[in-house]
Amino acid sequence: MPWGLRGEDGSGNQDDYALARVGKKPILKRQFGFMSILGFSCTILATWEGILSTFTMPFENGGPAGTIYSFIIVWAGICATFITMSELVSMAPTSGGQYHWVSMLSPPSCQKYMSFVTGWLIVIGWLGAFASSAYLSSSQIQGLIVLDHSSYVAQPWHTLLLYWAVTAFTVFVNVFASSLLPKFEGLVLVIHIIGFFAILIPLVYLGERNSAKEVFTTFSNGGGWQTEGLSFLIGMTGNMFAFTGADAAVHMSEEIQNSAVVVPICIMTTVVLNGLLGLGMIMAALFTMTDVEAALNSSTGYPFMEIFLSATKSVPGSTVMSALIPILVVATAVGCLASSSRMVWSFARDRGMPGSSWLSKVSSQAVPQYAISVVTGVGALLGLIILGSSAVLNDVVSLTVSALYGSYLLCAALFLYNRLMGNISSPADPSSDSDVVVNTPGAPLVWGPFRLPPVLGVICNVCAVVYLTVGIFFSFWPSDRQTTSEAMNYAVVGTAGTLILSTIYYFLYAKRVYTGPVVEIDRT
């Protein structure tokens, strides 16, 4: 084994070796095993919690039948997408994720620029994910107060203070209790699964039921669009958000033991498990949603709270059931801060961020505390949108979907091209010294441990590209055809603005310093 592939102590640890093969030195501590990173990934995806939280988006544009069928379509599309991502992370398990993969897959003529833009899409997407998680949990806490105290009048500034409190808690876990983060995520995984049954069983047992015909054949066009098909596609954004974020484990790759194998398994387990739980929960909610108007117009702001109350006929019982959702969404925000800060840290390490030399530093506990500070600060400022827009949730959800889906699409399209061209070779003997660095710009492309058979892989990649293209397009649409300036979907402003500003920054300055993922070891 070449010297450059060994840890600083010369031990040649296998994880360090795998990281060195893509040009990186080990800096962060590998404290996550399979169960802890599975908990991390499952609670960031948080599909059954997320679909209850964004319930109105697919229901208003699609109805009960549209909600179920769009969920299934999104689940299939996201499976294809994350199988593709799993193959890529197996090839290059770095915290940079998508921008590293775009860099290694792109033609030399545009490699730096495409990688740079992808990095910024991931940054803005994960900032949106962090902000939306903090917003959902804080507004749901307000909803619980309304559920128990009908005289309480929720104010935007109350939501903002709760938002900042949630943000402060995420900082505490990520900075001051960072060594406990894996155990925290393992605990949350248990709550994630037990909480599902704690809600599902009383909901189905106690609630009155709609007929199967009402649930599976009733469509609606609440947005007033030209056709129900168009309305259905626009409503899919809520379900897309419920599945966004499985790449969180990717950005933690340098803190996971045996990441080239564990991360792909974790991603696919997460998508399958959360899909099953999400489908079960959405069907239970739709079958027991006997008073549609009461649910959609609930004073709590969340239909699921009214559905629980209608089923249990008990305010304390529905409060306990409803309280599980914001608790788990707060855990999602903790994971979003961890993942987004690792992405910022990695991008800064490769000189893609302003203040890179500062943002790429880590503490004595190997925590990227400066990156955490920046993500927290920007997230806190994003919370101010709450004071000016009642449509903040739809905007942030759409921004998260469009930005992250954009980064996924670039990876999937480039990966498909290289696959078809036969540019990826079989892995060499791990003990061989012949290819010190692989899967970086200018180095050979080599398959990782996780790989689909050729024909199945092509079909999967094509499905991912088609699904992501459709998803991005409709993430920019407002929920109502007769929209107003306040209810308009401004996700296109955030996404297009990120592309424009990052392009300007690239040509004015970053072009001279950003070369793509930096190879930190000797190639000899």
Instruction: Name the β-bridge partners of 445.
Output: 424
Q: pLDDT tens for residues 136-181?
A: 899 999 999 999 888 888 888 899 999 999 999 999 999 888 888 8
Q: What is the C-alpha separation between 369 and 64, in angstroms, rounded?
A: 44
- Percent of the chain clearing pLDDT 90 (strictly above): 49
Phi and psi at 194, nearest 5°, equal -65, -40
Token pair 């915290």: residue: 95
With 0.85 as the threshold, say if the pTM is over it.
yes
pLDDT-based confidence at 5, cuts 50/70/90? very low
Distances (CA, A) of 265 to 35, 82, 118: 11, 11, 24
**Average pLDDT of the residues in 446-473:** 93
**Average pLDDT of the residues in 512-518:** 89
How high does pLDDT run on average in the chain? 87
pLDDT value at residue 510: 87
**Full set of structural domains in the chain with CATH:** 29-423+440-477+486-512 (1.20.1740.10)
pLDDT value at residue 45: 85
pLDDT-based confidence at 392, cuts 50/70/90? low
pLDDT-based confidence at 371, cuts 50/70/90? very high
Q: What is the C-alpha separation between 259 and 256, in angstroms, rounded?
A: 5
DSSP 404-440: HHHHHHHHHHHHHHHHHTT-EEPPPPTT-SS-SS-SS
pLDDT value at residue 389: 66
Q: Residue 117 in contact with residue 123, Cβ under 8 Å? A: no
Q: pLDDT tens for residues 434-443?
A: 457 888 888 8
Q: What is the C-alpha separation between 2 and 524, in angstroms, rounded?
A: 7
